[in-house]
Structure 1
Amino acid sequence: MVATQRRGRRIMMTQEELDVFLAGQRTCRVATVDGDGSPHISALWFAWDGSSLWLYSITRSRRWAQLRRDSRLAVVVDDGHEYGELRGVELSGSAVFVGEAPRTGEPCPELEPPERLFAAKYFGLDRMPHDGRHGWLRLTPDSVASWDFRKIPQAGG
């Protein structure tokens, strides 16, 4: 169950707005924690299926190793240039590793929907190309906070 956003209710996105926003954005920033507690932030491509964020990560990355030790992560997807255009979503929870790592295309029914979404979004393809270097992480968020400053009357003006 996702925690309810307490502050900024008038600028938070509805579920429909959040789904459209996440489906349309291309890059997210993923925050993980190193063994000594130091944060690490990196950019990734992702797919949103309406309830989970699917992250396609290089399996030999620092991020992957950190999530193997500590599965907690936070992800931000945002957009906008001027103050009144700013909007975004922060999702946090624990990463779950799904499928073989690295992904070579072995049958995995759970990955069929996110791989279809991802292949269409980033490659314009019906099927996911596998390079033997990436693996899938699923974040079903424990908490979601969103903002859309376009909902503020005369924002920034």
Structure 2
Amino acid sequence: MAEKMTDAQWREFVSHGTRTAKLSTVRADGSPHVTPIWFLLDGDEVVFNTGKDSVKGRNILRDGRIALCVDDDRPPYSFVVLRGRARVSEDLDEIRHWATRIGARYMGEERAEEFGARNGVPGELLVRVTVDRVLAEMDVAD
């Protein structure tokens, strides 16, 4: 039987290892766009970066409503869905700082600077999403 996660449990779950999030943004025609992303949790905010001219970047700049899903695809299955509103920064120092930290999570400390340099450039956005709604369940198949 599925069990709701506590605040501490969902935060640990989304921050565990290299789990990616599936980011949903709203296209201009109102339809959803979903893509996997690398991210970090920073207090009550999800932080990630993306290209300003990417589909998700353009969608976020036009309509900041987003949803993210992080899941464990192994039995007994667990998932967290986070909803909120995104805001963006084009401050290169801030983008590079977070791109380096995100790179460390997903590629390891030894490659963090490489990813920070690659993703901390003009044309990139730093996206912060204040989480205002959480749906988090564990052991869905039990």
> TM-score with structure 2 length normalisation?
0.80
Contact 1:19 1:50 in 2 (8 A): no
Structure 1 SS opposite 2:4: coil
Tell me the equivalent position of 1:18: 10
Provide the rounded CA distance (Å) in 2 between the counterparts of 1:35 and 1:119: 30
Q: Give a deviation string over 1:15-59, Cα, whole Å, max 9, x none.
A: 221121111142111111111111111111111123111122122
The letter of the residue matching 1:92 is R
Work out the number of aligned pairs and report it.
135
Provide the rounded CA distance (Å) in 2 between the counterparts of 1:130 and 1:26: 22
**1:2-151 mapped onto 2 (5 Å cutoff):** 11-24=3-16, 25-82=18-75, 85-100=76-91, 106-108=92-94, 112=97, 114-115=98-99, 117-125=101-109, 127=113, 129-131=116-118, 132=121, 134-149=124-139
Q: Any gaps of 5 or more consecutive residues in structure 2?
A: none
Q: Which has the larger radius of gyration?
A: 1
The letter of the residue matching 2:106 is Y
Deviates further, 68-77 or 131-140: 131-140
The letter of the residue matching 2:37 is L
Structure 1 stretches of at least 4 aligned residues deviating more than 3 Å after TM superposition? 114-117
Provide the rounded CA distance (Å) in 2 between the counterparts of 1:96 and 1:136: 8
Return the offset for 1:120: 2.2
Structure 1 SS opposite 2:116: coil
Provide the rounded CA distance (Å) in 1 between the counterparts of 2:11 and 2:83: 16
RMSD: 2.5
Structure with the higher fraction of residues in strand conformation: 2
Q: Any gaps of 5 or more consecutive residues in structure 1?
A: 1-7, 101-105
Contact 2:48 2:102 in 1 (8 A): no
Structure 2 SS opposite 1:140: strand
The letter of the residue matching 1:107 is D
Distance 1:13 1:116, change over 3 A: farther
Structure with the higher fraction of residues in helix conformation: 2
Structure 2 SS opposite 1:81: coil
